[in-house]
């Protein structure tokens, strides 16, 4: 039997109105939004369903909003009986994957990512850090560029290794600018500054990681019921202790998304189901390997499409 992976999106996939249609039709879906409101003591569902967009895109709002929406959609989708052999998530999406694997309770997951967002937002003074997407340069050459720039006193590093020819760099504002220019000299097609509030997945996030450890030490983290392929190592893990360590490292380490997808394929996964708003991960997965099947589930219609397609395959 071929294997299935559920994958969960990170920041950038959020949209005002995500999950709204499903929540209005199904009380059990709406229940997740209510529980998130209660846990955080804020009207998160109103922000998700109505905006404004500027407020939804603030890191400490985006993170619990995406986790809540993705888990609510997952709960609806799983009533079909389709199960995952592996789970993975991109950056913030890793927390959604952990809730899906029973490692964190939904409430603890929402709380943890709200705090994670606050710590990330406050780790570096506004305007001092940035990120950029570098297109068309392989990782070894880009790594050499970021190393050279960092050694000159302007910290910058690889942050998201998304797919061949698409790598995000992160660090000090000056470091990212210099590395972007040097990457183009080295053959990159473009270096596009990203609209983010900080230098995520870089060494500048270490203060946030220390604070996050305190939060994770205060909540129950269980062994995973389904192996989760960790961002930091691109290896499957199930142990609660290892999961907690990797979540802390994840804040200041690169997200090895391409490697994670390749690892799941190596382990027999041929069907990836992206659960949550948008189709960002499905696009990246297709750039990594055209031969695998990808689906995106974000509402009732897309869920039914996937259920029908998989039932046909298994008849």
DSSP 205-238: GHHHHHHHHHHHHTS-----SS-EE-TTTSSEE-
Could you give the CA distance from residue 202 to residue 157 in angstroms, rounded to a whole number?
6
Catalytic hit among 91, 197, 296, 298: 91
Q: What is the pairing mode between strands 86-89 and 3-8?
A: parallel
**Strand ranges inside 139-187, DSSP E:** 156-163, 166-172
User: Nearest to residue 71, comparing CAs of 91, 96, 38?
Assistant: 96
Q: What is the three-class DSSP state of 186?
A: coil
Please state, as a whole number, how many other Cβ atoms lie within 10 Å of the Cβ of residue 217.
10
DSSP 230-286: -TTTSSEE--HHHHHHHHHHHTTS-B-HHHHHHHHHHTTEEEEEEESSSSHHHHHHH
User: Nearest to residue 259, comparing CAs of 236, 282, 278?
Assistant: 236
Among this protein's residues, is 90 annotated catalytic?
no
Sheet holding 190-193, edge to edge: 156-163, 166-172, 129-135, 190-193
- What would the two tokens of residue 262 be? 């390749």
Catalytic hit among 157, 201, 202, 296: 201
Among this protein's residues, is 201 annotated catalytic?
yes
User: Nearest to residue 93, comparing CAs of 118, 115, 75, 68?
Assistant: 68
Half-sphere exposure of 106 (CA within 13 A, CB side): 20
Angle between helices 106-123 and 59-78 (to 10 degrees): 150
- What value, to the nearest 5°, has the Cα angle with vertex 70 and ends 23 and 114? 105
Q: Which residues are catalytic?
A: 91, 201
């Amino acid at each position: 039997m071929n294997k299935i992976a559920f994958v969960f999106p990170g920041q950038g996939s959020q949209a005002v109105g995500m999950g709204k249609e499903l929540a209005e039709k199904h009380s059990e879906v709406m229940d997740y939004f209510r529980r998130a409101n209660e846990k955080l003591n804020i009207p998160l569902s109103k922000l998700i369903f109505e905006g404004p967009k500027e407020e939804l895109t603030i890191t400490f709002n985006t993170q619990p909003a995406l986790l809540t929406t993705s888990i609510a959609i997952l709960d609806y989708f799983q009533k079909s009986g389709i199960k995952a052999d592996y789970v993975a998530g991109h950056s913030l999406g890793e927390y959604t994957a952990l809730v899906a694997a029973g490692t964190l309770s939904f409430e603890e997951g929402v709380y943890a990512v709200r705090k994670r967002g606050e710590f990330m937002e406050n780790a570096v003074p506004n305007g001092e850090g940035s990120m950029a997407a570098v297109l068309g340069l392989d990782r070894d050459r880009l790594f050499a560029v970021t190393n050279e720039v960092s050694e000159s006193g302007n910290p910058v590093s690889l942050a998201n290794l998304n797919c061949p020819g698409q790598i995000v760099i992160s660090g000090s504002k000056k470091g990212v600018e210099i590395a972007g220019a040097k990457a183009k000299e080295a053959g990159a097609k473009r270096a596009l500054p990203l609209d983010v509030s900080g230098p995520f997945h870089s060494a500048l996030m270490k203060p946030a990681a220390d604070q996050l450890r305190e939060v994770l030490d205060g909540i129950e983290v269980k062994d995973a019921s389904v192996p989760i392929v960790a961002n930091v190592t691109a290896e499957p893990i199930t142990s609660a202790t290892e999961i907690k360590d990797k979540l802390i490292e994840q804040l200041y380490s690169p997200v090895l998304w391409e490697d994670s997808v390749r690892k799941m394929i190596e382990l027999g996964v041929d069907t990836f189901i992206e659960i949550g708003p948008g189709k960002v991960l499905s696009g990246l997965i297709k750039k990594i390997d055209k031969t695998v099947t990808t689906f995106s589930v974000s509402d009732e219609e897309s869920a039914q499409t996937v259920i029908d397609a998989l039932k046909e395959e298994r008849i």
